[in-house]
Chain A
């Protein structure tokens, strides 16, 4: 983008340099945390306008070419008239059975089919492709939700959708990773400050000391266990000898070693000094080291979905189950489209944008980032746990084998 722009201004050097710098800053900003939000938003809005224009234009063209498709037939009037004719015809000699079975039922069936067909075809293009509808459409494309309540009907619309998705989806993924990361960091920070009570140093210090003591005990127990195992298992007579040599030779640092081997299993980095500076450093240390427990992540996700359920439930008259179902299906990007934000969100009015519509879009955008964040946080935990399980399994396996 900037390169193209900069090529226009190759002549005036200082101005060009300045311009280039500006461009750089601008692009860097666009890919930064704040910028990516703007980028996604503008991309979606632009997509909305493009799709709206294409679909409406194509629809107009189609109207001119094939006008017969757009004649509104009054199905119910037709049906009524036919039934009346039938009744009037058969009123004199009533064959009740035949009347019911054959004639009226057939007419009604026809009517029913017509209604179904009309319903399944969806609302007309003008109604569908209002600005909010188009915005929601482009949002569902780049987030890969794909409700399918609004779909392009024209060929150009389909082609543009493909291109739009090719560019938009990586952009949205970038957005997700960026925002998810930021959210994860801030969530970790909040968690560490609030839940682990790192704000008040006394509590945190006591907690850390307690934890360390526990870990050390555990490690010591493990070490004892190991030693016993090793001693018991070894049949060679060199054991004591080599131990003594190693001890004597490494007298300065053997303590280090024992410490290191003390820390078996997951008890890896427990510093063995209870010095204040150490603890303070840990308290003040980076929040990267903190793992947020699974339950908190799950709680955040569930509460987000439930709040969405309440929000949408008020707009759409869905019950809580339907609301949370809708939120889940949307946020997991499955997007069935059986429940879609309705008239309150997608206004038929072309230029009107309602608050609920904005809220819906924000809910989706934020929700996906939040889900991403939660998965980001959960992954660490899960993998950690899995590794522990695997390790345990392996140790078990090895013990048995040897």
Chain B
């Protein structure tokens, strides 16, 4: 599924991304993944290539006889004319110049007309040599490529009826195929380019910060910090912040401006986190702290909002940042929009990760002993957890129970504390004195999820054990966690389990980690006013069914650990679970009218397809396997590459191509640049076509040209891929400044 991810990930990260469903299942899933990867990339490319080759044979077969026939016809025409002139001169008893001239000129005019017809209608290229054909294999291949890339030079075109019909159907199938392939390639190239750019180019800048292991881990968290810090507006005395500051100053002192650029650039860019990019970020699992500056601007407003009782909150969904804020707290309660839901889910995960990093760094401070944890060795951990699931050791269970009770206690406290709503992080209350000055903001910004970290931090001595066992850590797939939960349930089931009590127990620390969503949902059951967010939904024009969905969903999950089947029910459960995000996605696609389309150029499509494919990738496995990818690849994966770099790349590609073609085809430089541009934008006038002038090496130059244009279009797709969001964001910014954009719809349209 996550073939893109697979490309960007090192192998050892990819492999454990599968949840432990047993070795056999894991192997099958892994092979499934590999298979999908192969299918999506290698096979696709192979398909396109074979499609081109097949088309080449087909067109050669269809068109070549006709072409040769036309050439023969021309020859015959001329011979006929000669014969006629001869007869005219021979038959005439007396050669009178005027008569003769009149006759012959009539014939000549006729001849000219026939030639013109041959050129226009039959596509005769003026060459009479039967051995030289336009529709050689190379020429036909070139033709197929020209068709499916929609360049359409027109220097050769089908002349027979069958050729035309075939071309139509060939194009109908081939163009989408080509677009798919190009978008795929562009995606891969974009990922690797981004990776290259951020890991290789900017690695040089950040190298000095990467000296020790622990530091690296800290830095990783820090790397994500910049956005988050600005966005979250964490209290300055925060330890993290200060650390980051020192780190940064370190870097700055070490490497000067380049370092500053490396950080500040994306930061600035991220400052404009727009709705659009938000969405993408979620799917790519990328940047989560989005709106740096602007969010800070909005801060006072927002905090005002949040001090109010939740149900009175004027939820302005149009303000993007407000939107996100809601996502953090309310949204779990009231999923009024499906997109929100999806985003929220992803964000939950992200938040967990994030908090986890923080937790790590804090752990460093506290105990400093859990280096390995911070560096995350998923296979080992996972293996451990598997073992614990299979043969429940007596030790973890009491612990977890104890923990549970504490969790429930905390939960009670949380609910009893009205001001802090449900997103209070007990951690703050517990052990972080530097959060004294934490304002509402931070409190509200930290979702309920981090509960477990509080516990973790508390139980530092047991922590290793717990980390393996109790909290469903982010790296742990949900299924495993569920399984464990079920086990716990089983253990608990003999006890008289009261419904209400159970509900309170459930959102314990361990569960909260992953299913913060759910826990908060239970919280919602306890907090009816918050749950009444339905009007909002109505306002958004959505059917109130969502309300039901919502309940259903929660019970769906609950049932997961009420059921006792460990493995047997997995597929079914899985599908029933994954059904829900799918539905979300479908709605999501429908709700914002997606105006971008398969445009003739295909570039916007890339975007579309990419998004779609990312949906597909995220479809099921991302729920489980994404976490790794996110955590590790988050840094280079979705950072934007500056626009100027992409533009520079494309321009240099065009200029390089211009130089090459000027050399090969002996065109002037401007002509070749013009040719390259016209080709790469798929306009394809056909006034300059390679292998038109140089007949001897036509195949060679055709090969050059096809390679150039295929790679060039992929490159264009890549840079489009890289730049689009930023570019759209910029355009939106400009538009907003001009006052064009006011509401969402316009944004949507403007975006495309």
Contact = CB atoms under 8 A, between A and B. Distances in A.
Interface of A: 2-3, 20-21, 23-24, 27-28, 31-32, 76, 79-80, 83-84, 87-88, 91, 94, 96, 99-100, 104-105, 108-109, 111-113, 115-117, 119-120, 140-141, 143-148, 151, 155, 158-159, 161-162, 165, 169, 173-174, 176-178, 180-181, 184-185, 226, 229-230, 233-236, 238-239, 241-243, 245-246, 248-251, 253-254, 256-257, 259-261, 263-265, 268-269, 271, 281, 285-286, 288-289, 321-322, 324-325, 328-329, 331-338, 368, 371-373, 375-376, 379-380, 383-384, 387, 390-391, 394-395, 397-399, 401-402
A322 B552 CA distance: 57
A393 B384 CA distance: 32
Contacts of B541: 286
A334 B152 contact: yes
B534 interface: no
A95 to B, nearest CB: 11
Interface in B90-128: 90, 95, 97, 100-101, 104-105, 108-109, 111-112, 115-116, 119-120, 123-124, 126
A80 B83 CA distance: 15
Interface of B: 24-25, 28-29, 32, 74, 78-79, 81-83, 85-86, 89-90, 95, 97, 100-101, 104-105, 108-109, 111-112, 115-116, 119-120, 123-124, 126, 146-147, 150-154, 157, 159, 161, 164-165, 167-168, 171, 175, 489-490, 493, 497-499, 502, 541, 543, 545, 548-549, 551-553, 555-556, 558-559, 562-572, 574-576, 579, 582-583, 586, 589-591, 593-601, 603-604, 608, 612, 616, 619-620, 670-671, 673-674, 677-678, 681-687, 735, 738-740, 742, 746, 749-750, 752
B82 to A, nearest CB: 5
A143 to B, nearest CB: 7
B150 A80 contact: no
Nearest to A340: B154
Contact of B126 (A116, A269, A324, A337): A116
B572 A226 contact: yes
A144 B579 contact: no
A395 B573 CA distance: 11
* Of listed A119, A145, A401, residue having the most chain B CB within 10 A: A401
Given A177-B599, A337-B154, A260 B552 contact: yes
Contacts of B681: 144, 165, 169
A230 B124 CA distance: 70
Given A146-B683, A336-B157, A379-B608, A236 B566 contact: yes
A84 B78 contact: no
Contacts of A242: 489-490, 493, 562-564
12 contacts: A84-B104, A87-B95, A146-B683, A177-B595, A177-B596, A184-B593, A238-B490, A263-B579, A268-B583, A268-B586, A286-B541, A334-B146
Contact of A402 (B25, B499, B579, B740): B25
A151 B164 contact: no
B600 A181 contact: no
A234 B569 contact: yes
Nearest to A249: B499
Given A174-B752, A177-B752, A249-B502, A337 B682 contact: no
Contact of A285 (B29, B543, B572): B543
A151 B687 contact: yes
CB-based closest 8 A-B pairs? A233-B568, A333-B600, A260-B552, A238-B564, A334-B152, A336-B154, A257-B555, A146-B683
B543 A151 contact: no
B601 A402 contact: no
Contact of B105 (A80, A321, A332, A399): A80
Contacts of B497: 245, 249
Given A226-B572, A254-B555, A148 B567 contact: no
Contacts of A185: 593
Given A116-B119, A242-B489, A395 B571 contact: yes
A144 B599 CA distance: 10
A96 B82 CA distance: 11
Nearest to A108: B78
Given A230-B569, A372-B598, A332 B674 contact: no
Find the residue from B108, B616, B670 having the highest chain A CB count within 10 A: B108
A93 B212 CA distance: 103
A308 to B, nearest CB: 13
Contact of A241 (B111, B548, B564, B566): B564
Contacts of B120: 119
Nearest to B22: A402
Q: Is the interface of B mostly helix, strand, loop or mixed?
A: helix
Contacts of A79: 108
Contacts of B82: 100, 104-105, 108
B400 to A, nearest CB: 19
Nearest to A378: B598
Contacts of A173: 599, 601, 603-604, 752
B595 A234 contact: no
B85 A398 contact: no
A402 B568 contact: yes
B543 A399 contact: no
A31 B750 contact: yes
B559 A246 contact: yes
Contacts of A259: 552
Given A264-B579, A333-B150, A147 B685 contact: yes
Contacts of B564: 234, 236, 238-239, 241-242
Contacts of A178: 595, 749, 752
Contacts of B604: 173, 177
B530 to A, nearest CB: 18
A234 B115 contact: no
Contact of B115 (A115, A235, A254, A371): A115
Contacts of A146: 151-152, 678, 682-686
B572 A148 contact: no
B752 A148 contact: no
A83 B83 CA distance: 13
A270 to B, nearest CB: 10
Given A88-B95, A325-B165, A334-B147, 5 more contacts: A173-B599, A230-B569, A261-B556, A379-B612, A390-B616
Nearest to A382: B176
A301 to B, nearest CB: 10
Contact of B154 (A112, A264, A335): A335
Contacts of B490: 238, 242
Contacts of B576: 226, 261, 264
Contact of B552 (A141, A155, A257, A288): A257
- Among B97, B112, B146, B548, max chain A CB count under 10 A is at B112
A268 B338 CA distance: 14
Nearest to A268: B583
Contacts of B603: 173
Contacts of A155: 670
